[in-house]
Structures are given as C-alpha cells and as structure tokens.
Amino acid sequence: MDSGVVQIVADYVEQTLGREGYQYICAVVANCKMLALELDEDEASVLDMDALIMAAYLHNISTVEYGYQGHHIKSAEMAIEFLRELDMPAALIGKVEQAILIHTSVVSSELRATSPLEGRVLYDADKLGRLSGLAVVTSLIEFGARYPNRAVTGEVLTAILRHIEERFVELYQSLHTAPARDMARAKFGNTLAFLDGVIEHLSDATPV
C-alpha cells in the first residue's frame, strides 16, 4: 500500500483519538506486524496485510465520541466511510470492516478456519498488551477510581489480584494464533509469577 495513504489514516486516527489513544493504537499496529511475520506459510499467503494495518489503525476510532460499548460496530461504520473518502478499493474496505467487526470476539477453534484471518490477528494484537504487569497497575487504578472511599485491606487486595489473575488466564487462552500464544507465553508467565508473589505476601487485612 502507498505509504502516503497509511500516513493519512494514521494522522486521522491521532487527530480523532488524541495522543494517548494514538500511542496505544501504534502498539497494536506494531503487534500486528510482528504477528504477521510469524504466521506459518499457509496463513501468511492469505493474509491481506494492507487490510490488517488499516483495521489496526481504525479499530477503536469511534470510542472517543461513542464509548466502548459496541465500539466494533460503530468503528467499522466510521472506517468504511473514511476509506471510501480515500477511494480505497471496495474489496479492501470489506476486509477492514470484517476485521474490525470481529476484533472483540473470541472465535471458537471450530470456526477459526472460516473467520477472517485479519480479524483474528487484530484480536490477538489488541490483547497482547493486556498480558503485562502494567495491566495489573491499570486494573488497580480502575478499582481505586470506581471505589474511591473503600479501604484497600490485604484481603480486598488479594481478592482483586486473584480476579485479575483469572482474567489473564482467560485472555491468554482466548488468543487465536500460534505466534500470539508464543509471544504472550513469557509475558504471561512473568505476570502470573508477579501476582502470585504479591498474593503470597499479603498476610493480614491492614488498610493501606
């Protein structure tokens, strides 16, 4: 794809989502590129890299105005409209639309062979950033923001961390592609070891 078109899309995303949102998007784009390089030969031969990158840039484009509830649907609509304005080929636009529409969905093993590869790669790229220690910190900040007046005792913190640990396990198991599982394995193991270590040392219920 013409690098100028990619830059136009990137500029549009940065302008729409702001600097912080755009930085996250760039991380997802980078993950997509890394995963694409590690696909086996059969999968690589059918992957539409242009559609994948376009979808990676545009998959959250609606969230600032409309929020995250059902954002895959609204983002797909906005992506279609924007790419049509750029006179992108209809086939490319269709693949971008499908990738965005399924990027929030866990595809069963039975259906993976018939679901768009671009969407499965985008799902994995989007989730890889959540299998890290930083995601633990983010979850704790979210808890504090949601319950600002609640004392965080050792017991409460242990419960929060166990919940995060369960979410991490589910997230890791939901990854669609072998390269994503390989890339996530070390990060996943390190994060679980961190959580287990913190939980082990929380011995009393003293408010903090």
Q: Are residues 121 and 19 in the same domain?
A: yes
pLDDT for residue 150: 74
Q: Are residues 49 and 123 in the same domain?
A: yes
**For 161-199, how does the pLDDT look when each residue is reduced to its tens digit (9 = 90+)?**
777 778 778 888 889 898 998 888 877 777 777 777 777
- How big is the chain, counted in residues? 208
pLDDT for residue 128: 86
Whose CA is closest to 63, among 17, 20, 29?
17
pLDDT for residue 117: 93
Q: Are residues 123 and 145 in the same domain?
A: no
pLDDT for residue 208: 46
Whose CA is closest to 12, among 50, 48, 70, 64?
64
Q: How far apart are the first and last CA of the chain?
A: 53
Whose CA is closest to 159, among 128, 150, 13?
150
pLDDT for residue 205: 46
- pTM score of the predicted model: 0.78
Rounded Cα distance between 95 and 101, Å, is 10
DSSP 42-96: HHHHH--HHHHHHHHHHTTTTHHHH-STTHHHHHHHHHHHHHHHTT--HHHHHHH
**For 86-104, how does the pLDDT look when each residue is reduced to its tens digit (9 = 90+)?**
999 999 999 999 999 998 8
Q: Are residues 88 and 47 in the same domain?
A: yes
Query: 111 pLDDT exceeds 80?
Result: no
Q: Are residues 90 and 146 in the same domain?
A: no
* Domain of residue 29, residue span: 1-128
**For 13-72, how does the pLDDT look when each residue is reduced to its tens digit (9 = 90+)?**
999 999 888 998 999 999 999 999 999 998 899 999 999 999 999 999 999 988 888 899
Total domains in the chain come to 2
